[in-house]
Amino acid sequence: MIWIAIVGSALATYLIRSIPFAVTIRGRLPEAASRYLDALPVAIIAALVGPAVVAPAGALTHGAEPLATVLVIATVAWRRSLLPGVIVGVLAVALFRLF
């Protein structure tokens, strides 16, 4: 019984992950879908970082997160890439929490 669950989960994961490859191999995506996929990483990062920066009451949190947020926004605006922003954010929070 457990093997059925494992194989079923593996099959579902494989199918979900292979759909983007199957769609893009046959042709170009529509412009609207392409713009949506280009904006998706920024939206995901914002959704993950937002709750850590803004408290449920709407006030900024105290500590390293607001300062790191400013550095991340500046880095992403300057480099036009999310990877340097993530690296700067992780390093900034780690260093700010030390001091």
Please write the tens of the pLDDT for every residue from 51-69: 777 766 667 677 777 888 8
Query: Using CA of residue 13, residue 14, residue 17, residue 23, what is the dihedral sign?
Result: negative
Please write the tens of the pLDDT for every residue from 9-59: 999 999 888 887 777 766 677 888 888 878 888 888 788 877 777 766 667
Q: What is the pTM of this model?
A: 0.54
